[in-house]
């Protein structure tokens, strides 16, 4: 059931994987919100005032108070609107595992993808493959395959929300820039998870179509790959 009158605004940018995470968490929780797409090439006063430290999206403004950084925002959403099934596990050890693998994803996998893009597809991605294999191991250990494809089993958990944008970004980078991701044989569970993400009703709304991301990536490559994120408009 949707939560109304919550006074929630999301400052976002549609290709941003970090914005996608927050949008997905809001949709999973049924939280009514206003989405204000931002022009990152010409940052609004609202964005600069709401995130004066990093000046980046996403920012969630709840009752006039801004919160920045996607993982912190999703955590906040889960605390304020726990609902019947919180995104973070009840068990403290499992919660720590979700934070650990989120941190791992940011520092290793997300960083590899970023370097790949910034080097115009030239960076060797053997490290990326090894890191995906480690994540596959974590999914085999933490996610109950009989319950469902996600780290959270049948439903998306915190870590699934953190990883979800990769379900559209990795294929887009593969098809436009020649990224070589892991095969289905190497990472069967991750492939299943990303497949389930693309089929999930909330993710279908929160994440853009792969085709749209491909067009975005292609256009940025043609203009200037060094500033391709900053120059884009929604």
Give every CB contact of residue 188 below 8 A, 6+ residues apart in sequence: 136
Question: Are the C-beta atoms of 112 and 170 separated by less than 8 Å?
Answer: no
Closer to ligand GSH by CB, 71 or 173: give it.
Answer: 71
Which positions touch ligand GSH (CB under 6 A)?
A: 13, 16, 18, 40, 55-58, 69-71, 229-230
How many helices (H) and strands (E) the chain has is answered by 12, 4
Q: Least Å distance between CB 37 and ligand GSH?
A: 12
Closer to ligand GSH by CB, 75 or 191: give it.
Answer: 75
Closer to ligand GSH by CB, 169 or 187: give it.
Answer: 169
Closer to ligand GSH by CB, 131 or 189: give it.
Answer: 131
Closer to ligand GSH by CB, 37 or 83: give it.
Answer: 37
Question: Is the sign of the CA dihedral 104, 202, 178, 176 positive or negative?
Answer: negative
Q: Least Å distance between CB 186 and ligand GSH?
A: 27
Closest residue to ligand GSH, judged by C-beta, is 56
Q: Least Å distance between CB 61 and ligand GSH?
A: 14
Taking CA 93 as the corner, what is the angle to CA 89 and CA 98, rounded to the nearest 5 degrees? Answer: 55
Distances (CA, A) of 97 to 75, 152, 159, 205, 206: 14, 12, 9, 28, 25
């Amino acid at each position: 059931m949707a939560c109304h009158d919550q006074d929630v605004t999301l400052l976002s940018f549609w290709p941003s994987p970090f914005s996608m995470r927050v949008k997905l968490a809001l949709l999973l929780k049924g939280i009514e919100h206003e989405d204000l797409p931002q022009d990152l090439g010409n940052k609004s006063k609202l964005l600069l005032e709401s995130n004066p430290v990093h000046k980046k999206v996403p920012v969630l403004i709840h009752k006039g108070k801004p919160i920045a950084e996607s993982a912190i925002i999703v955590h906040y959403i889960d605390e304020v609107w726990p609902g019947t099934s919180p995104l973070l596990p009840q068990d403290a050890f499992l919660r720590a595992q979700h934070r650990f693998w989120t941190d791992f994803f940011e520092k290793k996998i997300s960083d590899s993808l970023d370097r790949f893009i910034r080097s115009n597809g030239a960076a060797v991605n053997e490290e990326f493959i090894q890191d995906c294999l480690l994540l596959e191991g974590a999914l085999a250990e933490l996610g109950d395959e009989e319950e469902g494809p996600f780290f959270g089993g049948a439903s998306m958990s915190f870590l699934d929300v953190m990883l979800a944008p990769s379900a559209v970004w990795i294929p887009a980078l593969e098809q436009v820039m020649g990224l070589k991701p892991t095969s289905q044989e190497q990472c069967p569970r991750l492939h299943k998870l990303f497949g389930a993400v693309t089929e999930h009703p909330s993710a279908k709304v929160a994440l853009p179509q792969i085709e749209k991301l491909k067009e975005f990536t292609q256009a940025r490559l043609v203009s200037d790959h060094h500033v391709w994120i900053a120059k884009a408009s929604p």
